[in-house]
């Protein structure tokens, strides 16, 4: 049977920082940790999703989270997702749907059919949960459908679905006009989660502990901002390739001392590299931004290919799921649940005010513009993963809007002393196409050809500017 | 068939082909037309504001060109087609557009719509994903925000009385549509699926009172038929999202089947649930649009603890229609890249099996180009169940 076959082991991506290199064993540990927790039977185990601002609640209740997107990503990175995707397809699920979810559902169905882990399951496999916390957010349909589909094979495992909306950006509206009732709703949803977990764990929430964990997360958020800001240095000490590793503590380990300590160490490492003038690449020629899209987890070595051409990635929008709390206009509160709800709203509306001030801008576009300027970016790379609408629909339009600002012609601006200056604001972009974990969508040759052509464009712009 | 009898369906067919003909006339007269897409948009509020709701449609015969320059091809193909027609200017007579949180394709493309089209009014309506007390409170607040934004746009207050009147008239539409569906309970049906779908599609481009008058004429004409002019054949239920082009239904009927029931957005999903009358109108609308519109986008908790109980609760309406309309088979028609429906396919398949209704599952891309392949598969299915 085709689904018994594993794919060829991928090449390992070279990292620029020690911190990024330490991530692999860390991820392996929390996968094996869930297996250990299941064997010991002392803690409840829950499937759940990243970016829900609920980690603090989980950890305060001693619930072990199983990040199902993470497990699917590991299957992809190990080039061992295909057999699970095929399982899902055999159930009637289309390959055009979120492949993280397909991988997870295929795995669950197989595990439940066997009554044990599928053969050679990556890193021991994804453990059977006690319950599942899904999330009907404004930005991802599969998050509220995935566990419902998995429940077909484990109907005894209950689901709690948290609804976490935020006001969508509308140019002519002030989101603050509506966010009180958004906040009230999110608070009720999070309190509902607490009640559900109390019922499942037979324990009461310790609100002092929760408050401490929320404070720890907040400090980690600010520390991440400070750390990532160091990548503005020229040459850039750490690129997006590494950030696809360091996203792990941001997205899977928030509200832990380990995540905080990780960024203390990363910050120190980056400061040392900057002091020594060490960059991600030896001779940095081009500074690129990963401007959108989840990566192809099976092809992270493509970042090394960019690096080999002198291209560094000082910044990315993907997985930088934090924003400086001190710049958020959110009310003070001593109630940790209320704070989580405000932080949620503050994060998603972070760019709204700035976007309104610039004609033609919009929060996602505004974020790109700010990053381009702050990190001195020469070009934008995006990845269109065919199976994910959540993070990928809208990218073409964002580039379209960006092209109105960064034109491929010299632009005259008023410079110092009121004199007109001719500047070149051309910003080429590249869209790579494949998927998050479905390797059948990927062509290494085509990808490298596209990168080569893009680098040639960057070089020609560089030479023109120099001339 | 008398001249009067054929006239109404001729008119419907003409209006179907020249979709928006009447709306353009009304726009020229100075009426404000508000476009909408998806069953989650409360048309009653638009009507209560003195505007005319207009359902923007796609076209399976029109190749997607301009739209692809602004939107990814991984967007729901139906929605892509609607966007493509819009940026090509087909709906430039509209004054505004309302997009709800119906799916990721709608949410993630909202900026592309609102920056690319020349309408003076845009509104995004957030729809909760769950049906619990707090989500109804939130949704009612969202409906009031929508109400206020329309008030600002039209420059007048929308009173509760306006809403009550609008609720009443839309319920009258729903009653008439239900009466039309009932005509298909007879074997062979008195009204074909093609006729019904064309009438409902045309209706979604008309002011509600004109739609009601149109439905009265259709009911009267079918009544005059006395008995069906159709031959007996397999009775089919179509299960899926929005099917606003008649080709699929036509295909089934050309091959000898009859589409007698459906769950589609511009069919039973939209028209069967009534809004409660007599109470607070916003709360009644909140209840209807969030709870009664049975869309897979809304997560419904499994309260039974069993898979069988869960699917019976989520898809019970299908079983009811299957019985009421005595269906012999069903076609589950799902668009590629549709996450809300796509993830339900295994559960829906299991449900059809549990109620002993043979099922054909089709994944399609909203294009006339696939009709040849669909013909072969539908023909084989009809032969199998026939």
CATH number of the domain at A449, please.
Answer: 3.40.50.11900
What tokens were used for B377?
């598969």
Which residue blocks in B50-192 are alpha helix, DSSP H? 77-87, 104-108, 110-116, 133-154, 160-182
A49 pLDDT exceeds 70? yes
Q: How confident is the model at residue B30 (pLDDT cuts 50, 70, 90)?
A: very high
Contact A168 B124 (CB under 8 A): yes
The CA R_g of chain B, rounded to the nearest whole Å, is 20
Please give the pLDDT value at position B2.
47
**Which residue from B116, B126, B349 is facing A138, i.e. has the nearest CB?**
B126
Q: Chain A interface, mutation test: which of B68, B339, B346, B348, most A Cβ atoms within 10 Å?
A: B339
B339 within 8 A of B104, measured Cβ to Cβ: yes
Complex confidence, ipTM? 0.96
Q: How far apart are CA B80 and CA A394, in angstroms?
A: 12
Which residue carries 């779908």 as its tokens? B197
Name the nearest CA neighbour of A131 among A198, A56, A177. Answer: A198
pLDDT at B206 (0 to 100): 98
Residue A163 lies in a domain: no
In a domain, A172, yes or no: no
Tokens at residue B357, please?
Answer: 């209704």
- B13 within 8 A of B6, measured Cβ to Cβ: no
pLDDT band for position B22 (cuts 50, 70, 90): very high
Q: Write out pLDDT tens, residues B309-322.
A: 999 999 999 999 99
Q: Roughly how many angstroms between the first and final C-alpha of chain A, as a whole number?
A: 61
Nearest beta carbon to residue A94 from set B74, B302, B342: B342
pLDDT band for position A16 (50/70/90)? confident
Q: Is B136 on the interface with A (CB under 8 A)?
A: no
Residue pLDDT, tens place only, B136-155:
999 999 999 999 999 999 99
What tens digit of pLDDT does each residue of B206-265 get? 999 999 999 999 999 999 988 888 999 999 999 999 999 999 999 999 999 999 999 999
Please tell me if residue B146 touches chain A, with a CB cutoff of 8 Å.
no
Query: Measured between alpha carbons, how far is residue B356 from residues A51, B91, B313, B323, B352 in Å?
Result: 42, 44, 17, 11, 6
- Quick one: pLDDT band at residue A419, thresholds 50, 70, 90? confident
Phi, psi of A348 (to 5 degrees): -75, -20
Residues 309 through 338 of chain B touching chain A, CB cutoff 8 Å: 310, 334, 336-337
Q: Does residue A197 fall inside a structural domain?
A: no
The beta-carbon neighbor of A159 closest among B302, B340, B343 is B302
Q: Is residue A422 part of a domain?
A: yes
Say whether pLDDT at B291 is over 80.
Answer: yes
A8 pLDDT band, cuts 50/70/90, is low
B174 and chain A in contact, CB less than 8 A:
no
Look at residue A236 and give its three-state secondary structure: coil
Cβ–Cβ gap A141/B346 under 8 Å: no
Contact predicate B145/B286, CB 8 Å:
no
Q: Decide if pLDDT at A421 tops 90.
A: no
Contact check, Cβ <8 Å, B108/A393: yes
Q: Which residue has the tokens 């009720």?
A: A188
Residue A5 has a pLDDT of 53
Distance from CA of A276 to the nearest CA of B (A): 43
For residues A188-214, average pLDDT: 98
Please write the tens of the pLDDT for every residue from A301-330: 999 999 999 999 999 999 999 999 989 988
pLDDT at B343 over 60: yes
- Residue % of chain A over a pLDDT of 90: 87
Domains and CATH numbers, chain B: 19-161 (3.40.50.11890), 226-385 (3.40.50.11900)
CB distance B109–A394 less than 8 Å? yes
Residue A405 has pLDDT above 90, yes or no: no
A410-414 vs A420-424, strand pairing mode: antiparallel
Q: Write out residues 13-72 of B within 8 Å (CB-CB) of A.
A: 69-72
Locate A414 and state its tokens. Answer: 């008023």
Cβ-nearest to B336 among A94, A139, A184? A94
Which residues are within 8 A (CB) of A449 and not within 5 positions of it... i.e. 6 or more apart? none
Taking 70 as the threshold, does the pLDDT of residue A10 lie above it? no
Determine the Cα–Cα distance for residues A322 and A306; give it in Å rounded to an integer: 26
Q: For residue A432, is pLDDT > 70?
A: yes
Q: What was the pLDDT predicted at A18?
A: 93
Cβ of residue B75 closer than 8 Å to a chain A Cβ: yes
Of B70, B343, B361, the CB nearest to A397: B70
**Rounded to an integer, what distance in angstroms lies between the CA atom of residue A305 and that of residue A315?**
17
pLDDT for the residue A1: 39
Using 50, 70 and 90 to split pLDDT, how confident is the model at A414? Answer: confident
Residues A264-278 have a mean pLDDT of 97
What separation, in Å, do the N-terminal and C-terminal C-alpha atoms of chain B show?
29
Q: Which one of B111, B131, B302, B349 makes the best mutation probe of the A interface by having the most chain A beta carbons within 10 Å?
A: B111
How far is residue A22 CA from its own chain's centroid? 18
Q: Hey, is the C-beta of B165 within 8 angstroms of any chain A C-beta?
A: no
In angstroms, what separates the C-alpha of A94 from chain B's closest C-alpha? 7
The domain tally of chain A equals 1
Which chain B residues are Cβ-neighbours of A192 within 8 angstroms? 132, 134
Interface check B349 vs A, CB under 8 A = yes
The answer to whether A181 contacts B141, with C-beta atoms less than 8 Å apart, is: yes
Instruction: Identify the domain containing residue A299 by its residue range.
Output: 281-319+351-467
pLDDT band at A3, cuts 50/70/90? Answer: very low
Q: How many helices (H) and strands (E) does chain A have?
A: 17, 10
- Residue A112: the pLDDT is 98
Helices A68-77 and A240-252 cross at an angle (nearest 10°) of 150
Among the partner-chain residues B101, B109, B349, the one whose CB lies closest to the CB of A138 is B101
The pLDDT mean for chain B works out to: 96
Kindly determine whether residue A148 and residue B114, on different chains, have CB atoms separated by under 8 Å: no
Structural contact between residues B51 and B150, judged by C-beta atoms closer than 8 angstroms:
yes
User: What number is the average pLDDT over the span A254-282?
Assistant: 97
**Is A358 part of any domain?**
yes
Distance from CA of B7 to the nearest CA of A (A): 44
Within A117-178, residue ranges assigned H as helices are 142-150
Is B72's CB within 8 Å of A395's CB? yes
| Mean model confidence pLDDT for chain A | 94
Q: Are B192 and B181 in contact (CB under 8 A)?
A: no
Kindly list the residues from chain A whose CB atom is less than 8 angstroms away from the CB atom of residue B38: none
């Amino acid at each position: 049977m085709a689904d018994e076959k594993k794919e060829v082991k991928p090449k390992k991506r070279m990292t620029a920082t020690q911190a990024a290199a330490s991530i692999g064993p860390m991820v392996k540990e929390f996968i094996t940790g869930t297996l250990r927790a299941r064997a010991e039977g002392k803690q409840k185990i829950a499937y759940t999703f990243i970016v829900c601002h609920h980690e603090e609640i989980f950890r305060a209740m001693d619930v072990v989270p199983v990040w199902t997107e993470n497990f699917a990503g590991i299957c992809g990175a190990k080039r061992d997702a295909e057999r699970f995707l095929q399982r899902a397809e055999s159930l009637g699920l289309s390959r055009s749907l979120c492949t993280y979810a397909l991988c997870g559902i295929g795995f669950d169905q197989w595990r439940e059919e066997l009554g044990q882990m599928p053969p050679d399951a990556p890193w021991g496999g994804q453990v059977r949960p006690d319950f599942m916390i899904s999330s009907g957010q404004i930005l991802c349909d599969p998050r509220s459908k995935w566990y419902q589909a998995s429940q077909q094979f484990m109907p005894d495992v209950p689901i709690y679905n948290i609804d976490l909306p935020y006001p969508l950006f509308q140019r002519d509206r002030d989101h603050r006009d509506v966010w009180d009732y958004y906040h009230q709703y999110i608070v009720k949803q999070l309190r509902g989660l607490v009640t559900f977990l109390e019922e499942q764990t037979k324990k009461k929430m310790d609100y002092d502990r929760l408050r401490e964990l929320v404070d720890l997360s907040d400090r980690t958020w600010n520390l991440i901002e400070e750390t990532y800001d160091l990548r503005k240095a020229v040459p850039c000490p750490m690129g997006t390739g590494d950030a696809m590793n360091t996203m792990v503590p941001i997205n899977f380990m928030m509200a832990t001392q380990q995540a905080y300590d990780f960024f203390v160490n990363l910050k120190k490492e980056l400061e040392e590299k900057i002091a020594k003038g060490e960059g991600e690449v030896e001779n940095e020629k081009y500074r690129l931004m990963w401007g959108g899209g989840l990566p192809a987890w099976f092809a992270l070595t493509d970042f090394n290919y960019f690096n080999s051409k002198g291209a560094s990635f000082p910044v990315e929008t993907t997985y930088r799921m934090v924003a400086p709390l001190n710049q958020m206009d959110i009310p003070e509160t001593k109630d940790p649940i209320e704070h989580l709800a405000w932080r949620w709203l503050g994060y998603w509306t972070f760019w709204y005010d700035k976007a309104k001030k610039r004609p033609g801008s919009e929060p996602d576009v505004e974020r790109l513009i700010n990053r381009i300027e702050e990190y001195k970016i020469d070009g934008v790379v995006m990845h269109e993963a065919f199976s994910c609408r959540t993070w990928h629909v809208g990218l073409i339009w964002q580039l379209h809007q960006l092209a109105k600002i960064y034109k491929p012609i010299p632009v005259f601006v008023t410079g110092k002393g009121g004199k007109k200056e001719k500047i070149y604001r051309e910003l080429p972009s590249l869209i790579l196409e494949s998927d998050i974990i479905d390797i059948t969508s990927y062509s290494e040759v085509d990808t490298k050809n596209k990168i080569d052509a893009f680098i040639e464009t960057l070089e020609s712009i560089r030479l023109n500017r120099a001339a | 068939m008398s001249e009067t009898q054929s006239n109404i369906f001729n008119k419907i067919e003409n209006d179907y082909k020249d979709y928006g003909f009447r709306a353009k006339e009304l726009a020229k007269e100075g009426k404000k037309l508000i476009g909408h897409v998806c069953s989650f948009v409360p048309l009653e509020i638009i009507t209560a504001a003195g505007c005319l709701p207009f359902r923007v449609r796609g076209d399976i015969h029109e190749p997607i060109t301009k739209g692809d320059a602004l939107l990814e091809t991984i967007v729901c193909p139906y929605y892509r087609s609607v966007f493509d027609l819009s940026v090509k200017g087909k709906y430039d007579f509209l004054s505004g557009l309302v997009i709800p949180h119906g799916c990721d394709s709608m949410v993630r493309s909202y900026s592309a719509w609102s920056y690319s089209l020349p309408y003076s009014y845009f509104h995004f309506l957030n729809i909760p994903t769950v049906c619990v007390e707090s989500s109804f409170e939130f949704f009612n607040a969202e409906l009031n925000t929508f109400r206020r934004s329309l008030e600002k746009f039209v420059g007048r207050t929308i009173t509760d009385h306006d809403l009550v009147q609008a609720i009443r008239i839309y319920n009258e539409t729903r009653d008439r549509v239900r009466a039309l569906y009932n005509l298909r309970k007879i074997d062979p049906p008195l009204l074909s699926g093609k006729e019904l779908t064309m009438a409902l599609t045309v209706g979604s481009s008309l002011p509600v009172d004109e739609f009601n008058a149109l439905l009265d004429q259709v009911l009267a004409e079918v009544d005059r038929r006395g008995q069906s002019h159709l031959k007996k054949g397999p009775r089919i239920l179509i299960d899926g999202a929005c099917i606003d082009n008649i080709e699929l239904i036509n295909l089934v009927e050309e091959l000898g089947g009859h589409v007698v029931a459906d769950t589609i957005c511009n069919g039973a999903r939209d028209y069967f649930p009534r809004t409660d009358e007599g109470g607070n109108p916003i709360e009644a609308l909140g209840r209807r649009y969030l709870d009664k519109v049975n869309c897979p986008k809304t997560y419904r908790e499994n309260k039974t603890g069993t898979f069988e109980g869960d699917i019976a609760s989520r898809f019970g309406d299908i079983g009811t229609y299957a019985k009421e309309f005595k269906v012999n088979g069903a076609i589950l028609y799902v668009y590629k890249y549709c996450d809300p429906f796509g993830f339900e396919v295994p559960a829906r398949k299991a449900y059809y099996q549990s109620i002993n209704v043979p099922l054909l599952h089709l994944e399609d891309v909203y294009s006339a180009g696939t009709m040849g392949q669909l013909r072969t598969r539908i023909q084989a299915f009809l032969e199998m169940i026939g």
